[in-house]
A and B are shown apart, each in its own frame.
Chain A
Amino acid sequence: MLYLNLLHRPAEHPSQREAFAWQQQLAHTLGLKVTLLVDYRSLDDAATVAALQHDAATFGDELGLWFMNLPPVDDDTADADGRQEPFLWLYTAAEKRRIIAQVLARFETVFGFQPASVGAYHLDAESLCILTELAPTVQIAVAGCFEEGVRVFHGCNHSWYLFTEGMPWAPWYPAITNSLRPAADETDALGIVAVPHLSRDLALSYEGRNDFFATHPANVQRAMANAGAENPYMFNLVDQQRLQADFNDGFAYTHVFVGPAWIAGDPSVQDADAVTRQLYADFLRYFVELRSQGEAIDMHMDEFAAWFREHIPIGKPQVALAKELLYGAEKHYFWYLDSACRVLVDPTQGGAIGDLRPYAAQVAAHTGADADTLWYGSYPYLIQSQHRTGNSHHYADGARTTLRLTRHDETIDLAHVRVRVAAVTRDAGATIVRLTPATAHFSDGVAVTVETTYRFAGQGRIAIERRLLAGDTVMAEEYVKACYGVTEYPEDLRGVVLQVEGAQPGELVYAYRSRTLRTAAASAVTALIPPIEARLRLHAETPRQEGTATEGYLFSPYFTLTLTTPLHVGEMLRTWLTIEKA
């Protein structure tokens, strides 16, 4: 079942009022439930308020708050023209409190109640804590944009300072210390439900701009992925979300949130208004078609919050199998997240981990002028193969995992063998992802076939199983190259501690000196990353012939952990990758 939240926001300019009315009429004619998130400035506009009150009274539209067009900051530091900061998440804690209080008061004065639903492109934990303190009615928030950050910053001419990478792609329970991290339990939870702003393409928003490939037709128009009024990708994307019900006990979610500007003569939209309106009408009609087939349910945001609380427990893993739907690459990606980690498996690179976020480290963060992170709300990564090189293409490889097969002095990297997701199974204890077999061809004609299975066991424990199906004995090297960061630029790794456990245990403190710790009979290799209080560990159930932990250098700022041992045909090696709070 697909759960739909359809959100509209009112016209910010009188010239857009007709467009807003058209959007509303369209949704009402189709009988779709609408949540209206209203910005502060609109609360002062009598005509807008009257229209909103009419739609709430006549059609039952839910009224909530959208934190844009904020009141001026009333403090001594503001200059004569007031602060220009457009978004709540970039103010200081004290300013956030003043703004939120003022906006809530105005909302209550206008509508006579406090909202259950709120939103912004990003609502950090600090803002949400203030919001829920001042308005205990708040049940649900639009809190971030899945994988929005580096790519959109570049794409918007380096002028869009919204960094919320590393968050869940679907509704979650935000943690009290970091709204983009799913809470571990009730005590860790902020007490509300969070939803992403729009539902993003689970393949293309990892590879490129998330604001090109999302459940807003204007995003797809921005990418020029429509052909006038023909836009099958829009429906394909909804079905990509629907597909996730197969792996999440029947639950799938889509978030649609549009303002009126894009259908009101916005000069940045390449298509005519008539075409754009047709795109939106067709888009909404698809949800009605799905609803009539019993495949979708539209809910107000507050309704959805109640449903989510009743049916989805805190800590329940989310998984997604993404299939690329626009370039025709027939690629697969597999996403997994729980309260300990978020992991992306990239079968096109042999099943490498392409993105790893250590939620278990519980990195506390909020944004704002008084925050250490300033605008970087993104949850830090240990691996991000798009931003941090991944497989080697120029100088050297970067953050990634792989399996390297060596035979007669010839090594083949499994990242060069394309596979796909063969099966996803879930039970109470684990999520199991089996990939199609990868065949590596050695220069002497011998083909070695390896099947990889990931077993996500919760608590930050991931079993990587490599089964040698056919070929010849190889030396199998489980390989993890990582770092930490929030953008595409490297962070300071000095102070990272590398350890090897085995016949020759050792430890070094990272100083960019290219040193390698090496042990025979290796049981584990570990990296401790103090700046984000995370520990990344690769360990074997039975000792491996060799284990290494390698320090990088300034031109290759990573650390590498390996466990190597012979693998014979018919055997399976299970290696545990664990992510813990240090």
Chain B
Amino acid sequence: MVDDRKSVILRCPVCFARENDVVLLRDGDDFYCVKCSFTGSETRVRELYADQQKKYRWRQRRLTLDEQRAL
């Protein structure tokens, strides 16, 4: 889904929300986490990643040096 690489590791979105990197394991079309009770498809994982990214309100905001001085 991401690109043409042979493999992409997905991190558990629930553990990622706790700033913990835990690699999801695959079971058929779904993924599951061994550290918490998350299970879901890649689509679901990426939806939750997108939810996580909402915390970064300024993720797409450039703050120049002068703007930082004024901040």
Contact = CB atoms under 8 A, between A and B. Distances in A.
Nearest to A236: B63
Given A224-B52, A268-B9, A323-B71, A243 B19 contact: no
A1 interface: no
Contact of B2 (A212, A242, A272): A272
A268 B71 CA distance: 34
A271 B58 contact: no
B58 A239 contact: no
Interface in B8-40: 8-9, 11, 16, 19-23, 35
Given A243-B68, A274-B3, A232 B61 contact: yes
A570 interface: no
A239 B52 contact: no
Contact of A157 (B2, B20, B59, B61): B20
Q: Looking at chain B's contact residues, is the secondary structure mostly helix, strand, loop, or mixed?
A: loop
Contacts of A445: none
Contact of A327 (B8, B23, B55): B55
A243 B71 CA distance: 11
A232 B62 contact: yes
A327 B56 contact: yes
A200 interface: no
A209 B19 contact: yes
A155 B23 CA distance: 12
Interface residues of B, number: 33
Q: Which of A240, A275, A323 counts the most B-chain CB atoms under 10 A from its CB?
A: A323
A156 B21 contact: yes
Contacts of A240: 68
A236 B63 CA distance: 6
Given A157-B22, A265-B5, A272-B3, A246 B69 contact: yes
A306 interface: no
Contacts of B8: 267, 270
B58 A328 contact: yes
A273 interface: yes
A151 interface: yes
A251 interface: no
B43 interface: no
Nearest to B46: A270
Nearest to B69: A243
B56 A232 contact: no
B68 A235 contact: no
A76 to B, nearest CB: 38
Contact-size category for A: 35 or more
A155 B20 CA distance: 4
A235 B62 contact: yes
Contacts of A327: 55-58
Contact of A328 (B7, B57, B62, B69): B57
B53 interface: yes
A267 B63 contact: no
A425 B2 CA distance: 49
A364 interface: no
A227 B35 CA distance: 27
A230 B68 CA distance: 19
A531 B71 CA distance: 41
Interface string A257-298: 000000001011011111100000000000000000000000
A212 B19 contact: yes
Interface centre among B9, B55, B60, B65 (most CB of A within 10 A): B65
A233 B60 CA distance: 7
A246 B65 CA distance: 11
A227 B60 contact: yes
Contacts of B2: 270-272
A310 interface: no
Contacts of B11: 268
A353 B2 CA distance: 44
A275 B3 CA distance: 10
Contacts of B63: 232, 236, 239, 325
Nearest to B63: A236
A567 interface: no
A243 B22 CA distance: 35
A265 B9 contact: no
Nearest to A242: B65
A174 B63 CA distance: 33
A323 B55 contact: no
A2 B57 CA distance: 27
Instruction: Pick from B35, B61, B63 the residue with the most CB of A within 10 Å.
Output: B63
Contacts of B20: 154-155, 157
A291 to B, nearest CB: 15
A155 B19 CA distance: 5
Given A154-B19, A273-B3, A239 B49 contact: no
A326 B19 contact: no
A543 interface: no
A226 B53 CA distance: 9
Interface of A: 151, 154-157, 208-209, 212, 222, 224-227, 230, 232-233, 235-236, 239-240, 242-243, 246, 265, 267-268, 270-275, 323, 325-328, 330
Interface of B: 2-9, 11, 16, 19-23, 35, 49, 52-53, 55-65, 68-69, 71
9 contacts: A233-B56, A235-B62, A236-B61, A239-B64, A267-B8, A272-B5, A274-B3, A327-B55, A327-B56
Q: Ordered nearest first, which 9 A-B pairs have the shortest CB separation?
A: A272-B3, A328-B57, A232-B62, A328-B58, A267-B9, A239-B65, A236-B63, A267-B7, A323-B71
Given A154-B19, A224-B53, A323-B68, 15 more contacts: A151-B19, A155-B19, A157-B21, A157-B35, A222-B21, A224-B52, A226-B59, A232-B60, A233-B58, A236-B58, A239-B68, A243-B69, A246-B69, A265-B6, A272-B4
